Amino acid sequence: MLTSLFPRAHARYASLSILGGVLEELCSWLHARGFPPHAIRRHVEAAPFLDAFLRRRHIRSVGACTAVRLRACLPRQKRWRPQTAYALGRSLLTFLQERGELTSITPSRSEELIRVYRGYLQQVRGLAPRTARHHVTVTTDFLRFLKYDDRSHGLRDLQVAEIEAFVTAVSARMCRVTMQSTVAILRSFLRFLATRNDAATGLDTQIESPRQYRGERLARALPWDAVLAVLRAIDRSTVKGHRDYAMLLLIATYGLRASEIAALNLDDIMWRARVIRVPRPKVGTPLAVPLTDEVATALLDYLRCQSRDVAHRQLFLRVRIPRGPITAAAVSDAFDAWAAHAGIRMPTLGGPHCLRHSLAMHLLRQGTPLKTIGDLLGHRSVESTGIYLRLHLDDLRDVPLSLPIAAIRPTAEVQR
């Protein structure tokens, strides 16, 4: 394939000292992943730059290099050619990892402990993968702070003062709500260590958690006119516009989470029954909602203009190459971009999740029962849905008792 892409200059790329031996197979691999010829050609044109860059980092063979070292040696400059070389390097890294051609390294003590802890979180506690990753991130930072790999006795001599020092260090960059979550994760990890006799029992009870009062934070909701303005601002003349409109319309219609949008499958759209089966990674049980005409039209418009790869059954796919399913971060990016395009400048919108709150407030103002709103949003208790009552200002204005006329009249006379 290298010859067909560069009929005259293919020998120049094939003779590169580090990358020359893998470029031919890398081009075929990129083509199989959906990269068009012009994109592959642009990648390969950056190969001499990347080859020279790796040689300056004293790398002689990519096969004798570990994934960590190869990733650390990729160029990071913000110019055009280094950026293209970085994209080539990332593709090369994934290609070599799939083929198992990178040198494997023995995991460190902390990496091995984290591997066991991740399995405990998923298999014993049954946490969702995203929640488990958050736990792993905090515990990895904790072990790095304690220099666990250099401690000869592990954590058997762990002291409360060391734990408090870590909490103090991370509190400088976290708010009170995030700190409460971090302390809860740390307590869970200390209990896990105690069950393995890797740390003393009772350390988890020695950590003070920041106080957070129930209901102290209001839900972030946009006025319904602002929600409609965001949907109208989406340019539906492109594939990306059709996709983003369908995603945000689903959230505004059913109050779905970004993770639920990313997890939607083609089989979840039951066209004849006019039902959408929504997978809920956070809860674990699917939710069935009716397929409205407006949502069905938006989905059909997106599917008709989307060149779909049969290998992927996910509903929403990446627009850019390589083709593949989107993540929850893509839904957040789409909302942020179109909200800015619509002129919504409110601070701390909270991403597409504010559309979920906006829908709840819109239904509440229309007189929808609280239980019905909770069932649509997938709440397990009415208490979770009750937070929206605090934002229902029209009803809250009727709660205070009116002042007696005698108490108001002297004030009016003084003002005269």
Q: Is 320 a catalytic residue?
A: no
Q: pLDDT class for 382, splitting at 50, 70, 90?
A: low
> Is residue 58 flagged as an active site residue?
no
Strand, helix or coil at 63? coil
Q: Count structural domains, the chain.
A: 3
**Would you state the structure tokens that stand for residue 174, as one six-digit string?**
């976290």
Same domain? 379 vs 244? yes
Alpha carbons within 13 angstroms on the beta-carbon side of residue 138 total: 24
Tokens of 180: 């409460």
Same domain, 383 and 244: yes
Percent of the chain with pLDDT over 90: 19
125 with 77, same domain: the answer is no
pTM more than 0.75: no
Please tell me the predicted confidence (pLDDT) of residue 308.
64
Identify the pLDDT of residue 295.
93
Give domain status of residue 352, yes or no.
yes
Of the residues 43, 135, 242, 379, only one is catalytic, namely 379
In degrees and rounded to multiples of 5, residue 270 shows phi and psi of -95, 90
Instruction: Give the lowest-confidence range in 88-97, 139-148, 217-226, 386-395.
Output: 386-395
For residue 265, what are the β-bridge partners?
A: 314
Give the domain range for residue 373. Answer: 224-396
Same domain, 190 and 248: no
379 is catalytic: yes
pLDDT over 60 at 105, yes or no: yes
Average pLDDT over every residue of 4-8? 83
Asked if residue 322 has a cis previous peptide bond (ω within 30° of 0), the answer is yes
More confident residue, 227 or 393: 227
Identify whether 125 is a catalytic site residue. no
Annotated catalytic residue within 43, 236, 243, 257: 257
282 catalytic per annotation: yes
Give the domain-ending residue among 57, 73, 99.
99
Does the annotation mark 356 as catalytic? Answer: yes
Whether 268 maps to a domain, the answer reads: yes
Tell me: pLDDT of 248 over 70: yes
pLDDT tens readout for residues 58-104: 888 887 777 877 788 788 777 777 888 888 888 888 888 887 877 76
Write down the catalytic residue from 236, 242, 243, 353: 353
Count of other CB atoms within 10 angstroms of residue 166: 19
| Active-site hit among 109, 133, 196, 282 | 282
Q: What is the dihedral of CA 250, 255, 257, 263, to 10 degrees?
A: -40
Which pLDDT score, from 0 to 100, does residue 284 have?
67
Q: Which of 43, 356, 357, 362 is catalytic?
A: 356
